[in-house]
Structure 1
Amino acid sequence: MLDPAFLPPSPGIALIGASVLGAIVGSFLGAALVRMPEGRSVVTGRSACDGCGKALTVMELVPVLSWLAQRGKCRACGARIGRGQLACELGGAAVGIGAVLVAREGLVLAAMLLGWQLLLLALLDLRHLWLPRVLVGWLAGSGGLVVLARAWFEQDVGPVLIAAGGAALGFLMLWLIARFYLKARGREGMGSGDPPLLGAIGIWLGPLGVVEVMLGASILGIAAAIVMLVSKRKIDAETALPLGTCLAATAWPLFLLQGLG
């Protein structure tokens, strides 16, 4: 008879735990979304209202619930709390739930780790057209650790070779496109963070995953352009679309369905 202490949690408990953990992580991601573009530290300093600077209490930091209870405003000065914070908390919870429900056995925690990192990168690129190299580096490093753990567990170097191939293909594919565009048009047509991002994604998904992510991101980009046209927004050669957001939005669902490359 198995000791109850070693039994896996019921699906309901697992989902609740994943959603709570995800919302907490999402709260941290929301702070990073505000602080990083301003050059502020994400890990030091107390959380405070961006309007009046009042330090937030524990009850004002409960993910999702505090935002709803305060109606998205600071209790002290009434300044609006950006919806980006709520989006991060809900997004973080959704990543946790999605990983538990869909990710392959043994890859639930890896799916959460990948999803939370891609969520922050997607939002930073969507808001600021910025993919911080340090975050892309963390994405690549964490993917490398997951792949090494798999290779050690399976006693097979194959996963490492696949990851290396995915990283090389992902980076070179976008780097070559960017170089060709620069040579043909005489100006930059892609953010410098996009090739490293696809390279980091390639570590997680392998060469075939890189091709699938590029296809999915292209479809999302076309859909976004159609929406802009329908809404009568001007689109020309100077219009910037967040490719990194499209890459991230495609990569995580693929990992959930396919696992490591």
Structure 2
Amino acid sequence: MTAQRIAIVTGAARGIGAGVAERLAKDNVAVAVIDLDEAACKPVVERIEAAGGRAIAIGADVADETAVENAVERVVEELGAPTVLVNNAGIIRDNLLFKMTVSDWDAVMGVHLRGAFLLSRACQKHMVDAGFGRIINLSSTSALGNRGQANYSAAKAGVQGFTKTLALELGRFGITANAIAPGFIETEMTHATAERMGLDFEEFKAYGVKDIPVGRVGLPADIAAAVAFFASEEAGFVSGQVLYVAGGPKA
């Protein structure tokens, strides 16, 4: 029997991250559920454990180098050496360029890019030792450009370049790196976006659906299924790729 893999999923207290954590646990992966607030991660851990899986909750700011190093050490001590990493943690600070503050720019870059860098750097040594690793970074269709999201779009495009470079550097150690770029996914974050725009969520969703060829918005489970593939043994010859999970083609 193959030894159980250990995964870290960031931004996993809710939304896409929670869906990914639960899907990996269903696939017999032990999961460290990481988010800013440890208490907020506990319901996800409880659901995983109730279904027979192994998980722990960890509170950490992914943009803080010491916090990341301490979090990874806890994972090693309590679950084992992590060989699957899902960099999902993200925030938005949307505004048009002339209204965007430096703190809005820095906060988004810190979580998305600095966070992915710190976690990948902290975990890669364990993957090298194991001769196996899967790094899955969450990008976005916004990487192609999106009005009012200069910071978020730049960060998500940066995630794609970061992913491709990891694939080049780490491939010879049995480590793959891939990115997933979700389109419109129904989460707490998209509900908050609708509220901020003064729109009823169903109205907001209907506006998004009209440009989606499959005729529906995505769910966290759609992203989790893509993560499950990239995290699998069978995906060992797929690396440096960006998969748009958006209900239709993206350029």
TM-score range, shorter chain: 0.3 to 0.5
Higher helix proportion: 1
Q: Max radius of gyration: which structure? A: 1
Higher strand proportion: 2
- TM-score between the two structures when normalised by the length of structure 1: 0.32
- TM-score between the two structures when normalised by the length of structure 2: 0.33
